Structure formats: C-alpha cells, structure tokens
C-alpha cells in the first residue's frame, strides 16, 4: 500500500510481479501519474526501485477519447492532422493555464453507474472512501501565435493545487504537443502567488535584478520556452500598489493616487477658464465637464483628461504631470500586449520586425521607470511586497524581446509576426465564461455540471481562427475583464453611495 497526496493506492510489493506484468494495472497508472505530478523527485527515486515508465510517456495515461478529465485525444488528433497537412499556423503555439472553482459535491452518474465529484487527473477515477472531492478544475488551452486559433487541450479535477503541480502538468502538455509536431513558444499564467510559484518551479527567475524569462524543455535541452503573466492581472496589481502607497516617486516626478480619485469623483459641472489676452481684449471660456466613468484607469483618455484639467487651472490637478506620465506609460504597455491583427496601427499592431525598435524603446522606458520607483520613504517598490505587478510587465517585456530575437529576426523562418494578445489569458477566460453560462448558474458548478458543459463546448469547438470569438470579440472580453480598473470602480471605492467626496 502506497500513499500520495491523500490517495491510498494498493500496489503489489513484490518487484518480480511488476517486471512480469505486460501492462500496468489502473492502480499503478494512477499512482505513477499522481506521484510524478506532485513529487517529481520522489518519482525519479522510485524509478530506481520499481519499473516505472519514463515521465514523458505518462501523457498516454493522462489522455482520454471522451470529454472526461485529462488530455483530449480528439483535439490532439485534429491538431496533428493540421500539422501533417502543412498548415504552418498550427506548427507553433502558446499555452494558457487557468483554474475554475468547483462546488465540492458527490453525485451519482446513472450512465456510468458510479459516484462522481472526486479528484480525476485523467488516469481514472479513484475508487476509495479516502478519495478527496475535487474543488477546482485546471484547464489548459493552446492558442496560435500568428493566427488566432484556440484549442482546449483538456482539464484536470483537483482538490489542491501547487505551483509545482502546475509546472509538471505544463511539462506533460508540452511533451504531448511536441509529439504531434507542435512547438510551444510560451506559457502564460495568472499574475498570482500560484503563478509565480509555477514560474519558479519551471526555472524562471523572479528576482527583479536577475530576470531569466525562459525555461528548458526537456530539462537540460537547448530548447527554450518563454513565460508570461496575464496583463489584466498585472494591471490590477499595479493599481493595488498605487492605491496602497498613495504616492510613488519616479525620478523627478511624483505619481499620486489622489489625482485618479479626484478625476473619478468629478461630477458634471461648468468650469470657467481664467481670462487670457487675445488681440488686446480679455476673453473667458466656459467648459462643460463630464467624466465617463467607464473609462479605463490606465488609458490615454485618463491621461488626456488629467492634462486638460491641469490646463484649466483646477487646483486639485496642478501637480499631476507625474501621474499623467505614468498612466500614459501603462496605457502604451497594454497596447503592446494586446496586438490583435494587421488592421491595427501603432503599438496595437502585432509584433513585427518593422515595429520592434519602437516597442523596444517603450520597454526600456518601462524598465527605467519600474526599477527606480520608490515609496514616500524612499524604499524601492520593485523590491517590496507590492512588486509582482511591476515585475510581471518587466518579465513580459523581456519574454517578448526574446521571442523577437529568436523567432522574428531575419534569420528565423517561423513567422513574420506574433500576435501579442496570444500571451494573455483572454481566450481561455472567454472559454471559461462560456462554460459558466452553459452550466446555467452564477455559482461554482459541480463536477458533473462542469463536465457536461465541457463536453457540449468541446463537441462544437472548431480549431479555425476566430471560432471562439463568434459571439463576443476578444477586445470586448479584454475590456470586460478590467471592470474593476475603471474610473467608476475608483469612484465606488472612495465615494459614499449617491454622494460626492
């Protein structure tokens, strides 16, 4: 009897019986998969004693033909067919990983005649009283980097997740994609504590002074893969830092949170601009001010509004130069990381050889800013407990520059451009919202409801570019994900209901 992460699995202790078996029993498969995903060092040690398979062959046991937990063989077959037909857009991809909360509940499935709701990694349902109920589903999606196709690769029902578990799961995914001829260029996770732990487990350095943006797969090989944090999550953390510190110093400039609060609180009103001399006669101008509270906090619109209010002479905005500069920098960074198609212009274009110089200049400006930001006490913010949002942008910038140097340079034949929106969680968030809507409840679904919804979506999913975005554009989704990054959300936090500060 062996135990791993709360699972009690009964295995033959006689080594001779292991070596004589032509096939591993379901219990052995479950044990091998769980042990490798949760404790890779223990797995490597036991391989010296038991004839456990090579780690990269475990993807076979973690795969299923139906829309059950594990990797979806149907999706991988369709991807392989496209690669074998020579469709270059499917020869490389980025991986997105995200979790979805589930209601811990055991249910009887009349079709399979067994209880559901338990942890399931794809190697079979654990049939024991000790098996824990699943509390979340981990979903992995592949997205095109030069063409906007999406492929939900599978899901895994877990009770507790760690960064090391997710790292091993990602390595299994990369191996399975490599087997069908697809090269993984990047991995994206949320800018969370768990995401940071996953990055470190893969080999990414999270030290702001020594950023290392790639990891090798297989470990020790020459093939490198970059790592990104979701831009929307990173923006939320930057907003939290600015709100927490209230005031941050940027070289000779000062960024003040109060400027944003004052702007959000500005009601519709008339403002009389101070008289100016024109043709020898004083002239006064009256302005009607009205703030759109749906405006994104880090946007050109907010920067322009602050500048305009400063020119109008409003006392609250006379020292907002540093705030304007910071908001404009964040807005331009967001434009770069949401390049969506050839019809876009400026920083919103995909990453091309022709616009790299401009983007690189912006990244250098951001690095100069983030590494010199200090709080009111002169302490470095990039070394503080509020560093993750700023670090995420630094890591993403370094990863994008690495991709350009290795895949878009004149010597590269991979693709003439990269869709930078592929390195955000937007496509996976859209899929998760469709899952939630299909479950028909705003609450966390049960495992049974989740699996039924996933089966329905997978059956109708197309790998063709844009298929996932038929009923809602990715840009609309990106903006809706930032609902707590609007002037309205700032106003709701700082003003009493129906009142004015």
Residues 388 and 420 placed together within one structural domain of the fold: no
Please give the helix or strand (H or E) that residue 207 lies within, else none: none
Residue 463, in any domain of the structure: no
The total number of structural domains that make up the chain? 3
The verdict on residue 461 lying in a domain is: no
pLDDT of residue 367: 94
From residue 55, alpha-carbon distances to 38, 41, 62, 69, 402 in Å are: 12, 11, 11, 19, 29
The reply to whether 210 and 263 lie within a common domain is no
pLDDT of residue 73: 92
What is the predicted pLDDT for the residue at 261?
Answer: 92
* Residue 284: Cβ-neighbour burial (10 angstroms; 0-12, 13-18, 19+): exposed
**How wide is the angle at C-alpha 458 spanned by C-alphas 457 and 459, nearest 5°?**
90
Residue 95 in domain = yes
Same domain membership, residue 403 and residue 416: no
Same domain? For 306 and 422 the reply is: no
Assigned domain for 241 exists: no
Is residue 420 located within the same domain as residue 395?
Answer: no
Local mean pLDDT, 10-residue blocks, the chain (501 residues): 47 49 69 83 82 79 83 93 92 95 87 81 73 91 91 92 93 94 96 95 90 89 93 95 94 91 76 54 59 87 91 87 95 83 53 75 93 92 95 95 80 66 91 88 86 88 64 56 85 64 42
In a shared domain, residues 191 and 328: no
Same domain, 405 and 416: no
Give yes or no: residues 156 and 172 share one domain. yes
pLDDT tens figures, 126-166: 666 777 889 999 999 999 998 889 999 999 999 888 999 99
Domain that holds residue 124: 67-234+412-453
pLDDT in tens, 334-355: 988 886 554 455 555 666 666 7
Residue 458 domain-assigned (yes or no): no
Strands 183-189 and 92-101: parallel
What pLDDT is attached to residue 244?
A: 94
Indicate the SS3 state at residue 23. coil
Residue 1's alpha-carbon distances to 8, 31, 470, in angstroms, are 7, 11, 51
Say if residue 259 is in the same domain as residue 192.
Answer: no
Residues 30 and 113 in one domain: no
Q: Are residues 381 and 443 in the same domain?
A: no
The reply to whether 139 falls in a domain is yes
- Does residue 465 belong to any structural domain of this protein? no
251 shares a domain with 398: yes
**What's residue 237's pLDDT?**
96
**Helix (H) or strand (E) segment spanning residue 49:** none
pLDDT at residue 83, as a whole number: 95
Task: For residue 395, count CB atoms less than 10 angstroms from its CB and return exposed for 0-12, middle for 13-18, buried for 19 or more.
Answer: buried
Q: Is 227 helix (H, G, I), strand (E, B) or coil?
A: strand
337 in a domain, yes or no? Answer: yes
């Amino acid at each position: 009897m062996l135990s791993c992460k709360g699972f009690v699995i009964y295995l033959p202790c006689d080594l001779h019986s292991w070596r004589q078996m032509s096939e591993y029993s379901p219990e052995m498969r479950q044990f091998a998969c769980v042990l490798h995903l949760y404790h890779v060092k223990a797995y490597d040690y036991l391989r010296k004693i038991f004839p456990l398979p090579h780690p990269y062959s475990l993807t076979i046991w973690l795969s299923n033909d139906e829309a059950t937990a594990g990797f979806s063989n149907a999706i991988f077959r369709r991807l392989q067919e496209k690669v074998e037909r020579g469709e270059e857009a499917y020869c490389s991809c980025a991986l997105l990983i995200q979790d979805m909360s589930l209601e811990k509940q055991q249910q009887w499935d009349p079709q399979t005649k067994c209880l559901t709701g338990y942890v399931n990694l794809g190697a079979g349902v654990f049939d024991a009283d000790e098996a824990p109920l699943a509390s979340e589903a981990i979903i992995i999606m592949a997205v095109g980097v030069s063409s906007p196709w999406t492929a939900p690769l599978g899901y895994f029902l877990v009770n507790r997740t760690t960064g090391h578990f997710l790292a091993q799961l990602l390595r299994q995914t990369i191996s399975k994609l490599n087997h069908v001829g697809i090269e993984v260029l990047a991995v994206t996770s949320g800018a969370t504590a768990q995401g940071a732990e996953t990055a470190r487990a893969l080999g990414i350095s999270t030290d702001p002074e020594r950023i290392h943006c790639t990891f090798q797969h297989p470990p020790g090989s020459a093939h490198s893969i970059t790592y990104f944090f979701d831009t929307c999550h990173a923006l939320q953390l930057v907003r939290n830092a600015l709100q927490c510190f209230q005031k941050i110093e940027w070289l000779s400039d000062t960024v003040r949170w109060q400027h944003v609060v004052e702007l959000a609180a500005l009601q519709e009103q008339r403002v009389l601009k101070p008289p100016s001399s024109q043709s020898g006669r004083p002239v006064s101008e009256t302005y009607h001010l009205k703030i759109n509270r749906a405006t994104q906090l880090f946007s050109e619109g907010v920067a322009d509004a602050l500048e305009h209010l400063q020119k109008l002479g409003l006392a609250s905005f006379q020292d907002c130069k540093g705030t304007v500069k910071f908001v404009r920098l964040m807005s331009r960074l967001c434009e770069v990381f949401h390049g969506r198609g050839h019809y876009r212009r400026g920083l919103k274009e995909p990453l091309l050889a022709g616009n790299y110089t401009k983007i690189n200049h912006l990244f250098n400006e951001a690095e100069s800013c983030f590494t010199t930001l200090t709080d009111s006490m002169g302490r470095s913010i990039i070394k503080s407990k509020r560093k993750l949002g700023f670090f995420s942008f630094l890591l993403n910038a370094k990863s994008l520059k690495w991709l350009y140097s290795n895949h878009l340079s004149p010597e590269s034949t991979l693709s003439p451009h990269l869709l930078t929106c592929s390195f955000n969680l937007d496509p996976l968030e859209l899929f998760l919202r469709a899952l939630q809507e299909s479950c028909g409840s705003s609450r966390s679904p049960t495992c049974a409801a989740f699996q039924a919804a996933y089966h329905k979506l997978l059956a109708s999913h197309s790998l063709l570019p844009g298929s996932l975005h038929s009923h809602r554009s990715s840009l609309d989704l990106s903006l809706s994900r930032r609902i707590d990054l609007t002037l309205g959300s700032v106003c709701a936090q700082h003003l009493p209901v129906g009142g004015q500060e």
